[in-house]
Amino acid sequence: MAETKPLIFNVQKFSVHDGPGIRTTIFFKGCPLACPWCHNPESQRFCGERMARDDGGWDDVGAYYPLAEVIRQAVQDQIFYERSGGGVTLSGGEVLAQPMDYVTALVQALAEKGISVGIDTSGAAPFTAFEQVLPYTDFFLYDMKLFDDERHRQYMGQGNRQILENMKALSDAGAVLYLRLIMVDGVNTDRDRDIQPFQEWLQAQQIRVETIHLLPYHELGRHKYQALQRPFQPFRAPSAQVLEGIRQSFAGLGYDTVIGG
Ligand code: SF4
């Protein structure tokens, strides 16, 4: 469960992978999903925790930032946002599973200062949370892991119906969606089992997406599992040929599709 005050575990300046232009990405701590390949495992729990450092010390992960402080930090780089077409991205964890009074006040304040706001979401949140931020949000980076509900539950700890329903509702509401598909070999890359049913659903539901990003699994978060003293479960990225085949199959249906962020 979310705390009454949200925890933030990183404010990353000059980020270039979380939407267009130069951005500040604010990472909220706590996520309803438990993806076993999560490359930010320190983002999963809604509570503060400690990570071991290489020098034998410990770093605290997660702090409460008064709203004015996080706005101050975000506004510092406004000139770079304006020159590059960037802005602020709220990420996580799952930002829409945080106390929504705080999140809504934050996006509203940024929008009122003329700063573009993007939200990186797993979709695992009540639609009422999306509705609260929708008027102030320029785009959503919408992550999708697995189309099959039961296999989604098996890997992520809960099914995906809410995620799909929210995607549909956002599309119908005219939200700008960048769909991000995490590609994990043997888990969600089978054309007949994983890709085609999802494509059929996207088309049947008339989901409008700006771009589909195919994001191959990577192991950059491996050391963080050690630092958190949690077991690391290795997966594999699909081959370049498999990825390209998937890209072409989406592109063939008219979706602007790229490999990478
Ligand atoms: S949805 Fe994202 S942050 Fe949450 S567990 Fe999965 S990969 Fe990690």
Q: What is the pLDDT of residues 146-205, one digit of tens each?
A: 999 999 999 999 999 999 999 999 999 999 999 999 999 999 999 999 999 999 999 999
Domain CATH code at residue 82: 3.20.20.70
CB of 43 closer than 6 A to ligand 1? Answer: yes
Based on the structure, what is the number of domains in the chain?
1
CB of 122 closer than 6 A to ligand 1? Answer: yes
CA distance 84 to 86: 5
CB of 216 closer than 6 A to ligand 1? Answer: no
CB of 92 closer than 6 A to ligand 1? Answer: yes
What is the whole-number distance in angstroms between the Cα of residue 76 and the centre of ligand 1? 28
Residue 66 domain-assigned (yes or no): yes
Give me the residue label for tokens 């979380």.
18
SS (H, E, C) 6-19: CCEEEEEEEECCCC
**Residue of minimum CA distance from atom 6 in ligand 1:** 35
Residue 1 domain-assigned (yes or no): no
Asked whether the beta carbons of 21 and 81 are under 8 A apart, the reply is yes
C-alpha angle with apex 155: 164 to 89, nearest 5 degrees? 55
Of 35, 183, 235, the residue with max ligand 1 atoms within 8 A of its CB, to mutate for a pocket test, comes to 35
Residue 224 domain-assigned (yes or no): yes
Residue 28 domain-assigned (yes or no): yes
Atom of ligand 1 nearest to the CA of 122: 1
Residue 13 domain-assigned (yes or no): yes
Residue 47 domain-assigned (yes or no): yes
Type of residue found at 125: A
The model's pLDDT over 83-138, given as tens digits with 9 standing for 90+, comes to 999 999 999 999 999 999 999 999 999 999 999 999 999 999 999 999 999 999 99
pLDDT at position 155, please? 98
CB of 38 closer than 6 A to ligand 1? Answer: yes
CB of 121 closer than 6 A to ligand 1? Answer: no
Residue 101 domain-assigned (yes or no): yes
CB of 34 closer than 6 A to ligand 1? Answer: yes
pLDDT at position 216, please? 97
Of 10, 27, 94, 119, the residue with max ligand 1 atoms within 8 A of its CB, to mutate for a pocket test, comes to 94
Of 7, 8, 9, 31, the residue with max ligand 1 atoms within 8 A of its CB, to mutate for a pocket test, comes to 31
Query: In degrees rounded to 5, what are phi and psi of residue 119?
Result: -125, 125
Residue 220 domain-assigned (yes or no): yes
Asked whether the beta carbons of 179 and 159 are under 8 A apart, the reply is no
The model's pLDDT over 205-233, given as tens digits with 9 standing for 90+, comes to 999 999 999 999 999 999 999 999 999 99
Supply the range of the domain harboring residue 252.
Answer: 8-259
